[in-house]
């Protein structure tokens, strides 16, 4: 006796790929990230301050934006670990760009502050970065610039509407 015929299984459906909108969003994200990195790299190259890393410059700019901060809070804002932040602060202090002092009310808390030299250096770096961006924007037509401004405004509105990312 022959066993009953087993019906053939249909071939598994092909995994659907991302739709056109997802592909466009992915490309936009890659382009935006790439452009931001390229802009920072070009700015750092033309700025010529090779003795400072972009991370060190980021920490200095964070202090300029937020004012004096406890080291722990600075580490959190800069997305760094406390030991890495302390090591980085040692180097910045050696260059005369920051100073650290214990808080009077709680001697366990160390506050980081920009020195005048650190503030001047951040201003210079921001100026170089801004000049590079202005050179790029000058090459856009009025129509392209208007479209870019409209898109950036809309992205800003959406960012304001979204809840803060967690974890």
Total domains present in the chain: 1
> Residue 134's pLDDT is what?
92
Q: Tell me if 86 is assigned to some domain.
A: yes
> Residue 42's pLDDT is what?
74
Angstrom distance (rounded) from CA 85 to CA 76: 10
Residue 92 pLDDT class (50, 70, 90 cuts): very high
Domain span at residue 95 reads: 40-159
What would the mean pLDDT of 84-96 be, rounded to a whole number?
92
Angstrom distance (rounded) from CA 108 to CA 102: 7
Residue 139: helix, strand or coil by DSSP? Answer: coil
> Residue 6's pLDDT is what?
53
The yes-or-no verdict on residue 13 having pLDDT over 60 is no
Q: Tell me if 11 is assigned to some domain.
A: no
Residue 64 pLDDT class (50, 70, 90 cuts): very high
> Residue 67's pLDDT is what?
95
The yes-or-no verdict on residue 143 having pLDDT over 80 is yes
The yes-or-no verdict on residue 7 having pLDDT over 80 is no
pTM value is 0.67
φ, ψ at 102 (rounded to 5°): -75, 145
Max mean pLDDT among 9-13, 16-20, 34-38, 150-154 falls in 150-154
Please provide the DSSP assignment of 57-110 as one string.
HHHHHHHHHH-SEEHHHHHHHTT--HHHHHHHHHHHHHTTSEEEEE-SS-TT-E
Q: Tell me if 82 is assigned to some domain.
A: yes
Residue 128's domain is classified under what CATH number? Answer: 1.10.10.10
Residue 166 pLDDT class (50, 70, 90 cuts): low
Average predicted confidence (pLDDT) for the chain: 84
Angstrom distance (rounded) from CA 65 to CA 28: 28
Q: Tell me if 132 is assigned to some domain.
A: yes
Q: Tell me if 27 is assigned to some domain.
A: no
> Residue 37's pLDDT is what?
79
């Amino acid at each position: 006796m022959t066993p009953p015929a087993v019906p053939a299984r249909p071939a598994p459906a092909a995994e659907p790929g991302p739709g056109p909108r997802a592909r466009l969003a992915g490309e936009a994200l890659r382009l935006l990230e790439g452009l931001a990195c390229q802009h920072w790299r070009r700015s750092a190259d033309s700025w010529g301050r090779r003795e400072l890393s972009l991370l060190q410059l980021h920490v200095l700019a964070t202090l300029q934006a937020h004012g004096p901060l406890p080291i722990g809070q600075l580490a959190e804002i800069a997305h760094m670990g406390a030991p890495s932040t302390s090591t980085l602060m040692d180097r910045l202090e050696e260059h005369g760009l920051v100073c650290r002092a214990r808080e009077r009310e709680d001697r366990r808390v160390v506050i980081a502050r920009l020195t005048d030299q650190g503030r001047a250096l951040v201003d210079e770096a921001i100026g170089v970065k801004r000049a590079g961006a202005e050179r790029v924007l000058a090459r856009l037509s009025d129509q392209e610039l208007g479209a870019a401004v409209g898109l950036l405004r809309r992205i800003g509105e959406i960012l304001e509407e979204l809840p803060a990312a967690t974890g």
